Amino acid sequence: MPARSLLPQLSMAQPSPERVPSPAEQEWAGPEALCPGWLEDEAPDGDVPGDSGDPDGATHAFERLQSALCQEGLPPTLDCSAEPRTGFGPLDMTVCILGSPTAFLPVLLEGGTRCPGAMVLCLSPTWASRVPSESCPGAWSLLLSQGVSFKVGGHSALETFVPPRRANYVTGTFAPWDPEGGWAAELARDLDCPTGGSAPLARRLEDLLVTRWVLAARAKLPVPPTLAFVLEARGDLPAELEVPGVRLVRLQDPQGQDSLVREEVGAFLGGTAMEPYSQVMVRPAGWRWRGTGTHSTHRKEEGAAVAQAVCARLRGLMEEDSVLLEAMVPTARLPLPPPRSPAPRLPVALRICTLLCRSWGDRPQLCQVACAVGRAESPVRHGAALPQGLDSSLQQWGVVAPSQRQALATRLRKATEAAMAALLAAEAELSPQQRGGTRARTDILGVDFLLACVDDALELVALATNSQRCLETCVLAEAMGRAVGEPAGDLPRLLAEAMLHRAQCHLVEGKDILLIGAGGVSKSFVWEAAREYGLKIHLVESDPEHFAAGLVQTFLPYDSREHRRDEEHAERVLELVRSRGLRPHACLSYWDDCVVLAALVCQGLGLRGCSPAAVRVAKQKSRTHQHLQRCRRGRPPPAAFAVPCRRLQSHGDVERAAGAVPFPAVAKLEFGAGGVGVRLVEDAGQCHAHAARLWRDLRDDADHPGIGLGWGNAMLLMEYVPGTEHDVDLVVFDGRLVGAWVSDNGPTRVPAFLETAACLPSCLPADRQAQLVRAALQCCRACGLRDGVFNVELKLGPGGPRLLEINPRMGGFYLRDWIREVYGPDLLLAAVLVALGVPPVLPARPAPRAHLAGVMCLGSEHGAALAGGGGMEALRELQGRGLVRLNRLFEEVAGDGEYEEPLLSVACDGATRAEACVRLLGLCQALGIDSPRYPVEHFLSHFK
Ligand SMILES: Nc1ncnc2c1ncn2[C@@H]1O[C@H](COP(=O)(O)OP(=O)(O)O)[C@@H](O)[C@H]1O
Ligand SMILES: [Mg+2]
């Protein structure tokens, strides 16, 4: 443990909230009361914050951390501060947690294991400083000169950083009443990096009136009937709240309008919304009042007393405050089994506390639920009782059927996620100043609910939101579960992933990316994504007229279509890059034709990427398999996934190949893409015929751009692999798997092999998916593909997985879009991170948010229905309403007859795969995509 002298003295005046509740008020704590630090042990005698030797509380905070670590059975923090850590650069991740040492401890521990050293706890304002931001004028960068950083396995170290390290993500305890809240909020104000929360946002979340309005108006959740009085001047609310259950009255003179108040109170108490209730509560609301519990309760009939209580409260009304009169919503009472003993039963109330985070793709995700039970006379306080689970609480409440409890849990999840979505949307409309900085957003949110009975049905009533209390309750529930052998919950993992992900997004901002090959319309998403991530794209592209030219930082037209000369092209590209004075941080390609060139350029620039030799092996299909066949180490060896195949350069090769490859076989282009020119052949004769046609029709790139003809039109003959077809999209860093997603393909249309349908997540059970992922990873590694995002196509037959081909680039067509939609992470961002040399943080336990099923549309089959029949317009309109996902592969019909490529992928989502398939089929039938020649029902029937 560090000596006191190591913890520098407080240098900043600690701003305190304007109004601290009096001890009497605290004692009288009612519904929202929080006992600060209730998670901690009693402080040892004499060693309390405010002790003269510890003016900023850092020593005390450090001791609280030690005690919390000790309780977890973890080693104490190692004091390494004497030897400063140096060398933190622009690619090092720093997630900084300001303030309380305990609220985020499980998140710090989890983050420390996921990204050792990246999570840093700052316990004192003197450990950090603010400097004007270089990247965002007017904003500040937060620099850490000291902190407790977390490593694998719960090890932590007190470290000093010389020069100070820059935070990529900042969050902390910003609650107005928190002892650390003041300085933490001050340090986090107006930063240039993503900031999870701020003082103004925390105050908003603690303002009952504002949040109740958002919950009721935007999330359409039931809230307790509420009558609110505010000052006329109050600007953060609309003039009229047109929300069921919430009425707003603006007062010019809070002291002189007693008759108006009496009138409003009378109308409210006698109104229909109040009919089911008998008790009301009067309380001042606004962030200053939160946690004070100041309130009075009355019976509904006592109108005069209620009005008097309201008027009394109005006397001190300030602009940020309000006075609320609301119904006391009793917890639903269900018929309980007859008592086993004659002892009286106490009436009790249930409060449901939920914690959410802004997850991948900014989607609200419920992380945990914890319930509290208390006496019914006054609302249940946070922190007054030990938390318990939702399921057992509902059971105790008399919800007997497990299916009913499950249904309630699902409803609760939907309600919480709607609540967060509404709050985030409202937040997004605030000015940077109102948010406490351009980059400040709520990333962690607590929402409390009651289980009420409305019209004889159970109803979840949203009570309030908070910035910290639900987190503390849920963290406690997690810790308690472990004591009885419950497996660790998702909470720390989800929060740590959300924070690390945001930090990584900040890391890529402003980075110079040399991109080789722009790709076609199917890659149009790249340009918008690059802008959103703040990437500076320097694009090398063969088409000098490419539409992306105006969308990038630097456009470097260079014709590399003759790929047999990639070595030479690489030299020219390097010269171009040098002559423009560019110094890219990363170089990559997602375009099949350009992967070898990109690897050569990477090598030339000394940047992270796969070796050109590895990419060449992967790019050439027969070489991939022949190479794997020689890889005989491992259990099973990579050779187990390879398939017999032979190269065909002329008709003379056909007989020899036919001797080595059994029929039926597949004849296809060595460097092909998009399934063009792939054909099932039954014998050598058919192989000759197919080769003759192909060599006649497809000679160079101009004959069919984008399918690898720049490497020539050599072919291969490959054993036909039976089984179901799958794509595995992998993210590999330094040979280590960091993410994998398996999708399924429907039947292909033989004798050509055009893809017809696909679904995500895969229908396969986890163990079969695991086989595919492992096979894909071993094949990549055996080929030397150790860094990047790869798309591996395999079939899964009775004998296990067999490789079709490795695409040493991000998955094409709809894959990036679908994976983002279903699982959250972005393959493009992952590819950029790997290329920068940063291992991407991806969900450790990917959980699908929906199911997608899609079909491919062909120009030849669907051109008429889509263009002439108005089908495309209808699809666009449905897309606008979120009812269909479209991924355009080509602007117009690509290739014809035998060489046709799909035009468009049309997909529907659903809570289950069956639902997605039914919706898709209905759509295809209505739009004429389904036909006897294109039997969509048959294609989808494979997804069972
Ligand atoms: N050996 C094989 N056995 C069975 N089907 C194959 C075989 N090779 C290719 N296919 C089918 O042809 C499709 C396209 O082949 P692939 O090698 O992936 O070429 P491309 O690079 O054009 O995508 C595959 O998705 C698969 O359906
Ligand atoms: Mg393929």
pLDDT digits (tens, 9 = 90+) for 311-359: 999 988 888 899 999 999 998 887 776 777 777 777 788 999 999 999 9
Classify 365 in phi/psi space as left (phi over 0), alpha (psi -120 to 50) or beta.
beta
Proximal ligand: closest to the CA of 791: 2
Query: Residue 665 CA: which ligand 1 atom is closest?
Result: 1
636 prior amide bond cis, ω within 30: yes
- Residue 182 in any domain: the answer is yes
DSSP run (H or E) holding 460? strand 457-466
Last residue of a domain, one of 327, 354, 379: 327
- The pLDDT value recorded for residue 178 is 76
Judged against a pLDDT cut of 80, whether residue 29 lies above it is answered with: no
Cα of 669 from ligand 1 centre, angstroms: 10
Proximal ligand: closest to the CA of 676: 1
Please give the share of the chain, as a percent, with pLDDT higher than 70: 94
DSSP string, 600-635: HHHHHHT-SS--HHHHHHHHSHHHHHHHHHT---SS
Query: Residue 719 CA: which ligand 1 atom is closest?
Result: 1
Beta bridge partners of 439: none
Query: Residue 621 CA: which ligand 1 atom is closest?
Result: 17
Reported confidence tier of residue 8, pLDDT bands at 50, 70, 90: very low
Residue range 812-829, pLDDT digits in tens: 999 999 999 999 999 999
Give residue 814's identity as a one-letter amino acid code.
Y
154 and 8 assigned to the same domain: yes
- The pLDDT value recorded for residue 16 is 35
**Domain region containing 312:** 225-327
DSSP string, 897-932: GGG-B--EEEEEEESSHHHHHHHHHHHHHHHT--BT
The closest residue, in CA terms, to atom 15 on ligand 1 is 675
- Residue 587 in any domain: the answer is yes
Query: Stretch 215-229: mean pLDDT, rounded?
Result: 95
602/594 Cα distance (integer angstroms): 12
- Residue 866 in any domain: the answer is no
62 and 174 assigned to the same domain: yes
64 and 174 assigned to the same domain: yes
Reported confidence tier of residue 672, pLDDT bands at 50, 70, 90: very high
Residue with tokens 């918008």: 528
If one residue of 647, 666, 678 were mutated to test the ligand 1 pocket, choosing by the most ligand atoms within 8 A of its CB, it would be 678
Lowest-pLDDT choice from 9-23, 214-228, 729-743, 752-766: 9-23
- Residue 85 in any domain: the answer is yes
- The pLDDT value recorded for residue 47 is 41
Query: Residue 645 CA: which ligand 1 atom is closest?
Result: 1
Angle at which helices 827-836 and 815-823 cross, to 10°: 100
Cα of 791 from ligand 2 centre, angstroms: 9
Residue range 874-892, pLDDT digits in tens: 999 999 999 999 999 987 7
Judged against a pLDDT cut of 60, whether residue 491 lies above it is answered with: yes
Q: HSE on the CB side for 191, CA within 13 Å?
A: 29
Residues contacting 754, CB < 8 A, separation 6+: 675, 748, 856, 858, 900, 901, 902
Pairing verdict, β 885-888 and 904-910: antiparallel
Reported confidence tier of residue 22, pLDDT bands at 50, 70, 90: very low
Judged against a pLDDT cut of 80, whether residue 243 lies above it is answered with: yes
- Residue 90 in any domain: the answer is yes
153 and 247 assigned to the same domain: no
Judged against a pLDDT cut of 90, whether residue 628 lies above it is answered with: yes
Query: Stretch 473-490: mean pLDDT, rounded?
Result: 91
Query: Residue 720 CA: which ligand 1 atom is closest?
Result: 3
Proximal ligand: closest to the CA of 668: 1
Judged against a pLDDT cut of 60, whether residue 4 lies above it is answered with: no
Average pLDDT along the chain: 91
Query: Residue 718 CA: which ligand 1 atom is closest?
Result: 1
If one residue of 749, 753, 806 were mutated to test the ligand 1 pocket, choosing by the most ligand atoms within 8 A of its CB, it would be 753
For residues 739 and 842, is the Cβ–Cβ distance under 8 A?
yes
295/649 Cα distance (integer angstroms): 87
Residue range 165-174, pLDDT digits in tens: 999 999 999 9
Proximal ligand: closest to the CA of 646: 1
What's the angle, vertex CA 759, arms to CA 719 and CA 619, rounded to 5? Answer: 40
- The pLDDT value recorded for residue 292 is 80
The closest residue, in CA terms, to atom 2 on ligand 1 is 720
Proximal ligand: closest to the CA of 673: 1
Residue range 549-593, pLDDT digits in tens: 999 999 999 999 999 999 999 999 999 999 999 999 999 999 999
Reported confidence tier of residue 12, pLDDT bands at 50, 70, 90: very low
583/577 Cα distance (integer angstroms): 8
Q: List all residues whose CB is within 6 A of at least one atom of ligand 1.
A: 621, 643, 666, 668, 672-676, 678, 718-721, 725, 748, 753, 793, 804-805
Residue range 551-563, pLDDT digits in tens: 999 999 999 999 9
130 and 230 assigned to the same domain: no
CB atoms within 10 A of CB 308: 18
Residues contacting 696, CB < 8 A, separation 6+: none
681/75 Cα distance (integer angstroms): 65
For residues 436 and 188, is the Cβ–Cβ distance under 8 A?
yes
Instruction: List strands edge to edge, sheet with 226-231.
Output: 246-251, 226-231, 322-327, 279-285, 296-299
Last residue of a domain, one of 280, 305, 327: 327
Lowest-pLDDT choice from 49-53, 781-785, 938-942: 49-53
The three-state (H, E, C) secondary structure of 348-410, written as one string? EEEEEEEEEEECHHHCEEEEEEEEEEEECCCCCCCCCCCCECHHHHHHHHCCCCHHHHHHHHH
Query: Residue 793 CA: which ligand 1 atom is closest?
Result: 18
Reported confidence tier of residue 154, pLDDT bands at 50, 70, 90: very high
- Residue 810 in any domain: the answer is no
The closest residue, in CA terms, to atom 14 on ligand 1 is 675
- The pLDDT value recorded for residue 56 is 73
Cα of 697 from ligand 1 centre, angstroms: 20
The closest residue, in CA terms, to atom 12 on ligand 1 is 753
- The pLDDT value recorded for residue 151 is 97
Angstrom distances, CA of residue 359 to CA of 420, 534, 825: 11, 20, 10
161 and 239 assigned to the same domain: no
Cα of 694 from ligand 1 centre, angstroms: 16
Last residue of a domain, one of 544, 569, 593: 593
**Dihedral (CA of 262, 264, 270, 275) sign:** negative
571/552 Cα distance (integer angstroms): 22
- The pLDDT value recorded for residue 895 is 65
Proximal ligand: closest to the CA of 754: 1
- The pLDDT value recorded for residue 70 is 95
CATH number at residue 535: 3.40.50.720
Proximal ligand: closest to the CA of 706: 1
Cα of 678 from ligand 1 centre, angstroms: 7
pTM: 0.92
Reported confidence tier of residue 897, pLDDT bands at 50, 70, 90: confident
The closest residue, in CA terms, to atom 11 on ligand 1 is 753
Residue 759 DSSP SS3: strand
Query: Residue 674 CA: which ligand 1 atom is closest?
Result: 22
Closest-CA residue to 675 (of 458, 457, 459, 901): 901
- Residue 84 in any domain: the answer is yes
The closest residue, in CA terms, to atom 26 on ligand 1 is 753
- Residue 290 in any domain: the answer is yes
- The pLDDT value recorded for residue 456 is 81
Beta bridge partners of 169: 95
Residue range 272-292, pLDDT digits in tens: 999 999 999 999 999 888 878
If one residue of 645, 793, 889 were mutated to test the ligand 1 pocket, choosing by the most ligand atoms within 8 A of its CB, it would be 793
115 and 183 assigned to the same domain: yes
Pairing verdict, β 851-857 and 119-122: unpaired
Cα of 898 from ligand 1 centre, angstroms: 15
Proximal ligand: closest to the CA of 593: 1
Residue 736 DSSP SS3: strand
Cα of 793 from ligand 2 centre, angstroms: 6
Proximal ligand: closest to the CA of 645: 1
Cα of 657 from ligand 2 centre, angstroms: 21
Judged against a pLDDT cut of 60, whether residue 27 lies above it is answered with: no
Q: Which stretch, 31-45, 118-132, 377-391, has highest mean pLDDT?
A: 118-132
Closest-CA residue to 641 (of 787, 783, 508, 802): 802
Lowest-pLDDT choice from 328-342, 568-582, 744-758, 789-803: 328-342
Cα of 672 from ligand 2 centre, angstroms: 8
Q: HSE on the CB side for 916, CA within 13 Å?
A: 28
167 and 261 assigned to the same domain: no
Q: How many domains does the chain have?
A: 3
Residues contacting 89, CB < 8 A, separation 6+: none
Classify 553 in phi/psi space as left (phi over 0), alpha (psi -120 to 50) or beta.
alpha
8 and 133 assigned to the same domain: yes
If one residue of 804, 806, 856 were mutated to test the ligand 1 pocket, choosing by the most ligand atoms within 8 A of its CB, it would be 804
If one compares 747 and 49, the residue with the highest pLDDT of the two is 747
Cα of 653 from ligand 1 centre, angstroms: 20
Cα of 620 from ligand 2 centre, angstroms: 12
- The pLDDT value recorded for residue 557 is 98
643/801 Cα distance (integer angstroms): 11
Q: Which stretch, 24-28, 329-333, 777-781, has highest mean pLDDT?
A: 777-781
124 and 257 assigned to the same domain: no
Cα of 753 from ligand 1 centre, angstroms: 7
Residues in the chain: 944
Cα of 564 from ligand 1 centre, angstroms: 23
Cα of 834 from ligand 2 centre, angstroms: 23
169 and 77 assigned to the same domain: yes
Query: Residue 753 CA: which ligand 1 atom is closest?
Result: 12
- The pLDDT value recorded for residue 145 is 97
Cα of 845 from ligand 2 centre, angstroms: 27
The closest residue, in CA terms, to atom 21 on ligand 1 is 673
If one residue of 668, 671, 727, 813 were mutated to test the ligand 1 pocket, choosing by the most ligand atoms within 8 A of its CB, it would be 668
54 and 124 assigned to the same domain: yes
If one residue of 625, 666, 900 were mutated to test the ligand 1 pocket, choosing by the most ligand atoms within 8 A of its CB, it would be 666
